[in-house]
């Protein structure tokens, strides 16, 4: 658990969706990358926010800045939050578009919670499928 006052919230199948932590009289839901999912709200709404947010977005492409001249399209391989004082990490690899015949692509290890240089794609980002 990233912080002592963070309570894990899991799906019915046991998969971690994130945590809920107190802020004043309210609660903040935080996803597995360590990002707030909403502003402070009541406990039941925080649970609903995490369930609605889900984890399917982890499988989407992401953009990593700062490793090349332009942002790299990457896929998240691993998310390990801070645990008992040990720093967590996020491991990404350059998107290989599922090509199993392609040589392995570069991997990058980032700190947890997610740094701002790992972000969802935006309009105008380079498309590695276009030469």
> pLDDT tens digits for the chain (131 residues)?
678 899 999 999 999 999 999 999 999 999 999 999 999 999 999 999 999 999 999 999 999 999 999 999 999 999 999 988 889 999 999 998 878 788 888 999 999 999 999 999 999 888 777 75
The pLDDT, as a whole number, for residue 109 is 98
Record the pTM: 0.88
Candidates 32, 15, 14; CA nearest to 6 is 32
* CB-based burial label for 79 (10 Å; 0-12, 13-18, 19+): buried
The pLDDT, as a whole number, for residue 131 is 57
Strand pairing class (107-111; 16-23): unpaired
Supply the Cα-derived Rg of the chain in whole angstroms. Answer: 16
The pLDDT, as a whole number, for residue 1 is 63
The pLDDT, as a whole number, for residue 52 is 97
The pLDDT, as a whole number, for residue 102 is 83
* CB-based burial label for 118 (10 Å; 0-12, 13-18, 19+): buried
List the domain boundaries for the chain: 7-55, 60-119
d(CA 21, CA 8): 9
Do 68 and 96 touch, CB atoms closer than 8 A?
Answer: no
């Amino acid at each position: 658990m990233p912080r002592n006052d963070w309570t894990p919230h899991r799906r019915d199948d046991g998969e971690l969706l994130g945590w809920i932590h107190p802020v004043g009289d309210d609660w903040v839901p935080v996803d597995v990358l360590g990002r707030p999912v909403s502003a402070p709200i009541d406990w039941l709404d925080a649970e609903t926010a995490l369930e609605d947010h889900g984890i399917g977005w982890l499988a989407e492409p992401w953009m990593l800045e700062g490793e090349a001249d332009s942002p790299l399209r990457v896929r998240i391989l691993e998310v390990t939050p801070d645990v008992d004082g040990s720093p967590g990490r996020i491991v990404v690899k350059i998107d290989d578009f599922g090509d199993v015949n392609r040589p392995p692509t570069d991997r990058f290890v980032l700190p947890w919670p997610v740094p701002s240089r790992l972000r969802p794609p935006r309009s105008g980002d380079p498309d590695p499928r276009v030469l």
